[in-house]
């Protein structure tokens, strides 16, 4: 929606001094409704629809924060831009707590107001148009790249980019047609990647320009931290795709510094083979020869799949010459019982070793 369709309510007890600003915004296509009191502004909100509110902080009678709270009670999704001379931390905290969209500090300039309204009201449309341009450019770059020689590093970069586009399309439902093109492109690249994997897998097993494989993960990414004497939590989340992680990553970034790295799965990638390889650092045939009592094909009830991960992890540490004291703890959490065991260990209640 362009600016000329946007209705803005401006509540300010000195609104008569803002006629030049209102005229400027009108020339930019905004439909401004000016009012000089909070009561009049709330009455207008009750009677009509607005796309945003410009709200003065200091007014006689009902102040800006009270009005903000009332607006959010009535219309939680309506953007409110607070205009203030006061930049005190307490004011900002209270306003943010009431979900203010932005702050403008007096004295105001018309262009400053217009820029803020554009950012708040037209951001999605601008980002959608930018997404279209970016996708077309990326699409063309990938098409050109496919004509050249791909190594495993380039395939990682490609897959990460395609996964990032999965998330970006989620934010723009109106781009469904472009997303269909994206899904077709992913299918084509998946088929090409499967051929690439099949062609190079035996070379990787021979160590010829090999990427990190499942069997390398523990020694490459975990052991160096252990050798530095750090406390390490090695967390394996089964069956998580990269795009799912990318969705979760911003949540974890609030509390952790994150470095992302990648590896390629061994074949077969099924749980019985790949996850055992992750914990033991051995390929399935090596595991079967070295620890035959811990190698089990799945039974009818699938009770033996990966049942020896704890023992295999400790044996792996011993093969690497890492004797840890206290001994490493292992938890498999797939139900409430496993969660409770881990919680009890973490909090020191009935520690489980």
* pLDDT tens per residue across span 145-191: 878 778 999 999 999 999 999 999 988 888 988 999 999 999 999 99
Residue 39: which residues within 8 A CB-CB, separation 6 or more? Answer: 61, 62
Cis peptide before 194 (omega within 30 of 0): no
The span from the CA of 137 to the CA of 92, in Å, is 40
How far is Cα 299 from Cα 309, in angstroms, rounded to an integer?
A: 17
| Spatial distance between the Cα atoms of 178 and 132, rounded to a whole number of angstroms | 8
Evaluate if pTM is beyond 0.85.
Answer: no
Burial of 281 (0-12, 13-18, 19+ CB in 10 A): buried
Ramachandran angles phi, psi of 83, nearest 5°: -105, 125
Question: Quick check: 40 and 64 in contact, CB under 8 A?
Answer: no
Q: Which residue has the higher pLDDT, 307 or 216?
A: 216
pLDDT of residue 281: 95
**Angle, CA of 309, 310 and 316, to the nearest 5°:** 80
The phi and psi torsions of 77 (rounded to 5 degrees) equal -90, 0
Residues whose CB is less than 8 angstroms from the CB of residue 279 and which lie 6 or more positions away in sequence, other chains included: 218, 309, 312, 313, 316
Query: From CA 168, how far away is CA 137, in angstroms rounded?
Result: 15
- How far apart, in whole angstroms, are the C-alpha atoms of residue 275 and residue 281? 10
Note the pLDDT of residue 3: 54
Instruction: Give the chain's radius of gyration (CA, Å).
Output: 29
Geometric angle at alpha carbon 285, from 311 and 220, rounded to 5°? 60
Confidence of residue 94 (pLDDT cuts 50, 70, 90): confident
Q: What pLDDT was estimated at residue 350?
A: 52
Question: Comparing C-alpha atoms, which of 193, 192, 214 is closest to residue 204?
Answer: 214
| CA 257 to chain centroid | 14
Tokens of 225: 């931290």
Contact 309, 277 (CB under 8 A): no
Is the confidence at residue 302, as pLDDT, over 60?
no
In angstroms, the CA 98 to CA 83 distance is 15
**How many CA atoms does the CB half-sphere of 136 hold within 13 Å?**
7
Model confidence over 40-81: pLDDT tens digits? 999 999 888 899 999 998 888 888 888 888 998 899 889 999
At residue 90, the pLDDT reads: 72
Q: Are 204 and 211 spatial neighbours (Cβ–Cβ below 8 Å)?
A: yes
What percent of the chain stands above pLDDT 70?
94
Report DSSP state, residue 214: G
Per cent of the chain over pLDDT 90 is: 55
Looking at residue 148, its pLDDT comes to 77
pLDDT digits (tens, 9 = 90+) for 108-152: 899 999 999 998 898 888 889 999 999 999 999 988 887 877 899
Sign for the CA dihedral angle at 344, 346, 348, 353 comes to positive
Q: Is the pLDDT score of 102 beyond 70?
A: yes
d(CA 246, CA 119): 25
Phi, psi for 33 (deg, rounded to 5): -110, 110
Alpha-carbon gap, residue 288 to 48, rounded angstroms: 74
- Beta 7-11 vs 102-105: how paired, if at all? unpaired
């Amino acid at each position: 929606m362009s600016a000329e369709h946007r209705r803005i309510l401006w509540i300010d007890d000195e609104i008569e001094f803002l006629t030049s600003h209102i005229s400027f915004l009108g020339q930019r296509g905004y439909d401004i409704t000016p009012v000089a009191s909070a009561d009049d502004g709330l009455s207008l909100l009750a009677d009509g629809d607005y796309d945003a509110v410009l709200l003065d902080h200091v007014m006689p009678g009902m102040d800006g924060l009270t009005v903000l709270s009332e607006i959010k009670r009535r219309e939680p999704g309506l953007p409110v831009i607070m205009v203030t001379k006061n930049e005190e931390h307490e004011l900002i905290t209270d306003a943010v707590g009431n979900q203010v969209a932005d702050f403008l500090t007096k004295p105001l300039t018309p262009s400053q107001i217009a820029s803020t309204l554009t950012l708040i009201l037209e951001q999605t449309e601008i980002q959608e148009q930018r997404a279209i341009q970016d996708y077309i450019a990326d699409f063309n770059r990938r098409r050109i790249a496919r004509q050249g020689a791909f190594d495993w590093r380039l395939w990682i970069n490609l897959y990460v980019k395609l996964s990032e586009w999965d998330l970006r399309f989620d934010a723009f439902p109106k781009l469904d047609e472009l997303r269909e093109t994206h899904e077709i492109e992913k299918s084509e690249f998946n088929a090409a990647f499967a051929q690439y994997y099949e062609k190079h897998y035996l070379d990787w097993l021979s160590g010829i320009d090999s990427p990190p494989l499942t069997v390398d993960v523990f020694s490459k990414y975990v052991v160096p931290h252990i050798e530095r004497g750090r406390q390490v939590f090695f967390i394996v989340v089964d069956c998580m795709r990269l795009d799912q992680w990318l969705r979760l990553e911003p949540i974890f970034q609030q509390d952790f510094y994150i470095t992302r790295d990648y590896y390629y799965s061994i074949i077969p990638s099924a749980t019985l083979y790949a996850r055992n390889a992750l914990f033991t650092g051995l390929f399935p045939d090596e595991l079967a020869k070295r620890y035959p009592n811990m190698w089990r094909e799945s039974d009818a009830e699938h009770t033996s799949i990966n049942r020896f991960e704890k023992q295999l992890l400790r044996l792996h540490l011993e093969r690497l010459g890492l004797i840890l004291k206290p001994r490493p703890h292992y938890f498999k959490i797939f139900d409430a019982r496993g969660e409770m065991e881990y919680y009890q260990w973490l909090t020191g209640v009935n520690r489980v070793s």
